[in-house]
């Protein structure tokens, strides 16, 4: 791809250790514009540590992560400005209204109030939240709170969206709805998406799957390619076969 239009994410040799434990071990892969990539792995695979490095919370011991042309290690401010993340742990202020939570986000990104108002209105409508804008987030269901977090993340118009086990703990209907929304937005906006999960069904419709186990990338390709490689009949069995082969249950 031309340097004028760099990929939303390019990870090269990224590594992080905690004592003797290599949590992320020389991981390399990328996410292209408009591509939905599922980062699939069992608990303890290193997915969350990888995401914490991508979000600037951890400094890698080795390697680099480049977001839309900006290296997180060398140019963290522009790199982090080009991505948005929805973590597994909720990050809303439950005592503020939906709209106030979103306005706080636009202020954080330095978005002018007139533009901020337009963006907030757009994303509230896009996720069916307009009628709930004045409600405090404490009043909302878990699934609706997740939609607010997703809408809030999109206010900065990121080139890369990171979803870190973001559907854990919500009902199946809300989980399916958020997954569908993110996939649609990925196509419509040309936004790169990296969706971390341990749930195989969430990875089935991804453009690519990156399988992690014990800190390493064990597979990078399409769901069909993983099934074919494993000689299994479905993605669940292919994933279990691969991770068992690497000493994981």
User: In the chain, which residues have pLDDT < 50?
Assistant: 1-3, 247-249
- Show the domains of the chain with their CATH numbers: 1-82+159-249 (3.40.50.300), 89-157 (no CATH)
> 123 burial class (0-12, 13-18, 19+ CB within 10 angstroms)?
buried
Model's pTM, two decimal places? 0.92
Q: How far apart, in whole angstroms, are the C-alpha atoms of residue 114 and residue 3?
A: 33
CB 12 within 8 A of CB 183: no
DSSP assignment letter at 132: G
CB 188 within 8 A of CB 109: no
The pLDDT assigned to 245 comes to 56
The pLDDT assigned to 28 comes to 97
DSSP 38-96: EEE--TTSSHHHHHHHHTTSS--SEEEEEETTEETTT-HHHHHHTEEEE-SS----TTS
3-class secondary-structure state, position 137: helix
Residues 150-199: pLDDT tens digits? 999 999 999 999 999 988 888 999 999 999 999 999 999 999 999 999 99
The pLDDT assigned to 249 comes to 40
State percent of the chain over pLDDT 90: 86
Q: How far apart, in whole angstroms, are the C-alpha atoms of residue 46 and residue 213?
A: 7
| Rg (the chain; Cα; Å) | 18
Q: What is the separation of C-alpha 102 from the centre of its chain, rounded to a whole number of angstroms?
A: 19
């Amino acid at each position: 791809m031309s340097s004028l239009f760099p990929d939303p994410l390019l990870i090269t040799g990224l590594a992080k250790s905690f004592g003797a434990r290599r949590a992320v071990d020389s991981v390399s892969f990328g996410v292209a514009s408009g591509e939905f990539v599922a980062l699939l792995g069992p608990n303890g695979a290193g997915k969350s540590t990888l995401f914490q490095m991508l979000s600037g919370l951890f400094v890698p011991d080795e390697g680099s992560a480049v977001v839309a042309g900006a290296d997180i290690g060398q140019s963290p401010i522009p790199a982090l400005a080009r991505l948005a993340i929805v973590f597994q742990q909720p990050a809303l202020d439950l005592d503020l209204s939906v709209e106030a939570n979103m306005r706080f986000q636009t202020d954080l990104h330095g978005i002018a109030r007139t533009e901020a108002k337009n963006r907030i209105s757009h994303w509230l409508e896009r996720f069916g939240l307009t009628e709930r804008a004045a409600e405090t987030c404490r009043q909302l269901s878990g699934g609706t709170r997740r939609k607010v977090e997703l809408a809030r993340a999109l206010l900065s118009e990121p080139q890369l969206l990171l979803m870190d086990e973001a559907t854990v703990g919500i009902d199946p209907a809300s989980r399916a709805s958020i997954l569908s929304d993110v996939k649609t937005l990925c196509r419509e906006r040309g936004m790169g998406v990296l969706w971390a999960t341990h749930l195989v069904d969430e990875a089935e419709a991804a453009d690519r799957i990156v399988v992690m186990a014990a800190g390493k990338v064990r597979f990078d390709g399409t769901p069909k390619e993983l099934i074919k490689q494993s000689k299994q009949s479905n993605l669940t069995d292919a994933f279990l076969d691969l991770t068992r082969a690497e000493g994981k249950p």
